[in-house]
Amino acid sequence: MDLPQKNFNPPKKLFELNWKIAGEAGFGIKSSGLMFAKTIVRHGYFVFGYDEYPSLIRGGHNTYQLHISEIPAYSQKKHVSLLVCLNRKTFDQHKEELAEGAVILFDDSQFQIEESELKNWNAKELKVPLIKLATEVGGDRIMANTVALGASLAVLGGDFDILSQVITETFKAKGEDVINQNIKVAREGFDFASKFNTLWEGNKLQKKQQLKKIVITGNEAIALAAIASGCKFFAAYPMTPTSNILHYLASVGSKKGMVVKHAEDEIAVINMAVGASFAGARSMVATSGGGFSLMVEGYGLASMVETPVVIVEGMRPGPATGLPTWTGQGDLHFVLNAAQDEFPRVVVAPGDISEAFTLTCQAFNIAEKYQIPVIILVDKLVCESHSSVDEYDTKDLIIERGEILGENQIPQSEKFQRYKITQNGVSPRTIPGVKGGQFVANSDEHDQFGFSTEDAIERKEMFDKRMRKMIPLEKEISKPQMIRQFENAPLTVITFGSLKMVMMQAIEWLENEGIQINYCNLNWLSPFPVNFISDLIARSKKTLIIENNATSQLASLIKKETGKGISDVYLKYDGRPFFPEEIVDKVKSLI
């Protein structure tokens, strides 16, 4: 059951609402949403943008919703205060999401909404002739979305000049005529709706001191981190939700000295990346669960030949093709156990878009220092959502390449032992062309020179050498995040990955009502923080696991690693993320 929207409002002096635009694919829903997000940020507010679209090449129903707040907006919201309906289906499909007193913006020349349909939410109509306003000034029907942007801004009391600047930047590659036409139609919507700005009864947008924020997605954050970390080879076969990493890097790679390859399939992708890393280039790939299924043998190869590579695995509902454009957290066990037998496994799961950057940088360093593949586990909510985040400062970023030897570091009097038995498990490494550093990279079990061996003693020694990497590695990774910790809290919530964003929003609303809970988010899943989680559960009065899968994979991982079972779990696996409203409801039911 949905909780009433009134329970989630911040103090009345703060500006906060959820804006949503939806309609048929092809009407620029996502681009409109991003332009509105940038406009709001330049007014001095925080935003979080979340979009939904079907897995169709053409057509279908697309949405973009923008949580706008005077204080940090951590995630999407469920209840909508200003709904822009570009077709009748939008109202029919999203009316149950309306907040009390919502405003419905639509073109009444295209369809009608009866007053009786709005009474449950005390909603108000704003009838704007979107298509007429666009075409009367020489625009196209498709520009109805831009008219709607101007009208939305007027209702909220915003500054049109800021929207004009954003439009100019968005369409600069298309020339002055396109820029001027879009500004003109947006102005028509703004002027028309200005006559009805009393419809919105909340606080108006005030132009505040502009925050030093950028609006990006998790995919873009990962791509920027790869560039900052010195990645020189990236390969992918496009699979949602990580496709935009390929798109972004393809657009800038040549300027950054990076080879960006759209390969024929994921088998080629992983093998190319392992080969590039063997040659000395920092390498990364990006895929989804289906693509990683094809990469598993190459993943094991990288581990056996001790070649670093960063693998971005974007979870989506399966099995098989599943729900290609929706979200889930069902690949946790898969990535923790992929490839046969045992070897050092590192899996990191960014909790938000800022962490997508910082943890990607860390993943590159760990991959090279320990000569292992590292998996970055993400999902649609992190990958494709827009958030206003601090500009990334890379002046203190340290690139650690580990034991890569140059010619003057290799004894010329003896044969190079690429897989030398060492105390910490990390052997010296060379790249092709270094005199005296030749070696065999063999996917069979091998000796210290890389030659195949089936000797029992050599097998055990080499296996133990690889596994010893986990000892220093466990000391290097960050501890789990205790985002909230109170001595007498009635409940402790544990999540992993993108649930952090939703939980942060839910916690803020709970604390507005005087409810305090403990909250821990796991972003390092392997090596697993056994002692930390064991102690946390032992200290907790009651523990709740929240995750986007059907079998509570995090809870079973905790049971496996710590021996402690958790009976209270809250699961969602319909392809949609949790909404903060749902989590608030669940927490209240338990305490």
Select from 326, 339, 333 the least CA-distant residue to 377.
333
Q: What is the mean pLDDT of the chain?
A: 94
| Alpha-carbon distance values, 70 to 148, 193, 243, 391 (Å) | 23, 23, 32, 19
pLDDT digits (tens, 9 = 90+) for 191-224: 999 998 788 888 889 888 777 899 999 999 999 9
pLDDT digits (tens, 9 = 90+) for 308-342: 999 999 999 999 999 999 999 999 999 999 999 99
Q: Supply the Cα-derived Rg of the chain in whole angstroms.
A: 26
pLDDT digits (tens, 9 = 90+) for 260-295: 999 999 999 999 999 999 999 999 999 999 999 999
Select from 166, 152, 272, 141 the least CA-distant residue to 205.
152
| 430 and 277 Cβ atoms separated by less than 8 Å | no
CB proximity list for 344: less than 8 A, separation 6 or greater = 303, 370, 372, 425, 466, 467, 469, 470, 473
pLDDT digits (tens, 9 = 90+) for 135-175: 999 999 999 999 999 999 999 999 999 999 999 999 999 99
Run of H or E including 347: strand 346-348
Cα-to-chain-centroid distance, residue 184 = 35
Please tell me the predicted confidence (pLDDT) of residue 246.
Answer: 98
Select from 120, 14, 3 the least CA-distant residue to 67.
14
Question: Residue 429 and residue 350: Cα distance in Å, rounded?
Answer: 29
- Position 4 confidence tier, pLDDT thresholds 50, 70, 90: very low
Whether 10 shows a pLDDT value over 70: the answer reads no
Maximum CA pair distance of the chain?
90
- The strands making up 481-484's β-sheet, listed across from edge to edge, are 481-484, 518-522, 492-496, 543-547, 568-571
Whether 57 shows a pLDDT value over 90: the answer reads no
Whether 6 shows a pLDDT value over 50: the answer reads no
Give the mean model confidence (pLDDT) for residues 542-564: 97
Select from 546, 485, 489, 479 the least CA-distant residue to 519.
485
Whether 88 shows a pLDDT value over 90: the answer reads yes
- Position 5 confidence tier, pLDDT thresholds 50, 70, 90: very low
Whether 8 shows a pLDDT value over 60: the answer reads no
Please tell me the predicted confidence (pLDDT) of residue 14.
Answer: 82
Whether 47 shows a pLDDT value over 80: the answer reads yes
pLDDT digits (tens, 9 = 90+) for 420-448: 999 999 999 999 999 999 999 999 999 99
Please tell me the predicted confidence (pLDDT) of residue 337.
Answer: 97
Please tell me the predicted confidence (pLDDT) of residue 414.
Answer: 85
Question: Residue 313 and residue 380: Cα distance in Å, rounded?
Answer: 11
pLDDT digits (tens, 9 = 90+) for 357-399: 999 999 999 999 999 999 999 999 999 999 999 999 899 999 9
- Position 13 confidence tier, pLDDT thresholds 50, 70, 90: low
Whether 9 shows a pLDDT value over 80: the answer reads no
Tokens, residue 113:
């909404």
pTM check: above 0.85 = yes
Give the mean model confidence (pLDDT) for residues 546-565: 97
- Position 413 confidence tier, pLDDT thresholds 50, 70, 90: confident
| Domains of the chain and CATH, by start | 5-211 (3.40.920.10), 216-390 (3.40.50.970), 403-477 (no CATH), 481-590 (3.40.50.920)
Please classify residue 331 by burial: count the beta carbons closer than 10 Å to its beta carbon, then call 0-12 exposed, 13-18 middle and 19+ buried. Answer: buried
Full DSSP string of 557-591: HHHHHHS----EEEE--SSSPPPHHHHHHHHHHH-
Whether 487 shows a pLDDT value over 50: the answer reads yes
Give the mean model confidence (pLDDT) for residues 228-250: 98
Give the mean model confidence (pLDDT) for residues 477-496: 93
Amino acid at 472: P
| 549 and 472 Cβ atoms separated by less than 8 Å | no
Question: Residue 362 and residue 176: Cα distance in Å, rounded?
Answer: 42
Helices (H), 13-159: 29-41, 88-94, 130-136, 144-156
Please tell me the predicted confidence (pLDDT) of residue 211.
Answer: 77
pLDDT digits (tens, 9 = 90+) for 115-132: 899 989 999 999 999 999
322: helix, strand or coil: coil
| Alpha-carbon distance values, 564 to 384, 559, 586 (Å) | 34, 5, 22
Whether 499 shows a pLDDT value over 90: the answer reads yes
Please tell me the predicted confidence (pLDDT) of residue 479.
Answer: 85
Cα-to-chain-centroid distance, residue 136 = 41
